[in-house]
Homo-oligomer: A and B are copies of this chain.
Amino acid sequence: MSKKLAAEIKADGSFNRQTNRFITPFGNGPDELPVEAERYRLLWSAVCPWAHRSVIVRRVLGLEEVISLGTASPMRPKIPQVDWEFSLDEGCVDPVLGIRYISEIYKKTDPEYSGRPTVPVIVDLKEQKVVNNDYFRLTNYFETVWAPFHKENAPDLYPESIREEIDSINGIIFNDVNNGVYKCGFAQSQEAYEEAYDKLFTRLDELEYRLSTQRFLIGDFITDSDVRLYATLIRFDAAYYAAFKTNRNRIVDFPNLWGYLRDLYQTPGFADTTDFHAIKVHYHLSNHIASNDQKSAGILPKGPDLSGLYSKHNREALSKSEEKFLKK
């Protein structure tokens, strides 16, 4: 395990994710990041659930022309182990930023930066520096203060009247599910692993029950919470189940969660931003960020069979609306 990651393991062997360093909000206040078209670049890797959520929301809201996207490889570079590399680009360099590793822009911004160089990260192209890597709030900025740049008829993923409910469920999903799978995969003691495993599946059981009577997490429409849950569920059977030992059940074993996942997957912005090959390559072959699974000797699992993601789900019957999205 790298030293950077070791700093996130507590004495009892449990995983304690680093906090974000760049959390200045977007907005119109004097100390906020100005909302401007073509000023920022979003860096992600298709493997990363934290980055994936922001890329889904960017597409659903039609912000592609407004905020550009740089895509790092699913394979970690050999050194430094926790970095991300633009090895999918010509010359292994991001064509806009001219950097090979995402750590470069972090270091350029703050030479003292000692955390992991994470995605998603927003780079200000004018200042040529990192301005925000707050994966928890980033989608909310896209959904609110970025509204002037949304496409016509963009949905409301974060309606004001139910924001408290969305925030509340986002907190639960973060702790027990989004980060819960990492707590299983990165635990360095059997006890810490089992505690995280139990919490994760207890929560999935609750979500399974919740989704038995409503189409989406908050009701009839897709909200920010669904994007967050999706990013973990879609990686579950293909990666976490084996690589992070979250193997009580797969998602296909939960009738409602599985129907819900297909429903989302079949929605524009979801399948088209989901790259299973990248996900599998990263979690099964890129062993440089040491989870408690030491990965394989270069053999990529051929399965699982994910063809069922396109099958009919009949979840429309649970909703009063014919639309999946709430129009503003």
Give A residues with C-beta under 8 Å from B: 187-190, 193-194, 197, 241-242, 245-250, 252-253, 287, 290, 292-305
Distance in angstroms between the alpha carbons of A129 and B303 in the assembled complex:
44
Contacts of A247 in B (CB 8 A): 242, 301-304
Can you tell how many copies of this chain the complex includes? 2
**Interface contact B305-A249, CB-CB below 8 Å:** yes
Please give, as numbers and ranges, the residues of chain B lying within 8 Å of A250 by CB-CB distance: 250
Nearest-neighbour CB distance to chain B for A306, whole angstroms, equals: 10
User: CA separation between A295 and B248, bound complex, in Å?
Assistant: 18
Chain B contacts of A246 at CB under 8 A?
303
Chain B residues positioned under 8 Å from A194 (CB to CB): 302
Looking at the assembled complex, report how far the CB atom of A294 sits from the nearest CB atom of chain B, in whole angstroms.
Answer: 4
Q: Which one of B190, B242, B248, B297 contacts A188 once the chains associate, using CB atoms below 8 Å?
A: B297
Which chain B residue shows the least CB distance to A250? B250
Task: Check A248 against B304 for contact (C-beta < 8 Å).
Answer: yes
- Residues on B with beta carbons closer than 8 Å to the beta carbon of A301: 245, 247
Bound-complex Cα distance A295 to B252 (A)? 25
Given contacts A242-B242, A242-B247, contact A297 B292 (CB under 8 A): yes
Query: When the two chains form their complex, are residues B294 and A294 in contact, meaning their CB atoms are under 8 A apart?
Result: yes
Q: Which of A250, A290, A295, A297 is most buried by chain B, counting CB atoms within 10 A of its CB?
A: A297
- Asked if A303 contacts B249 (CB within 8 A), the reply is yes
Q: Which residues of B contact A249 (CB under 8 A)?
A: 303-305
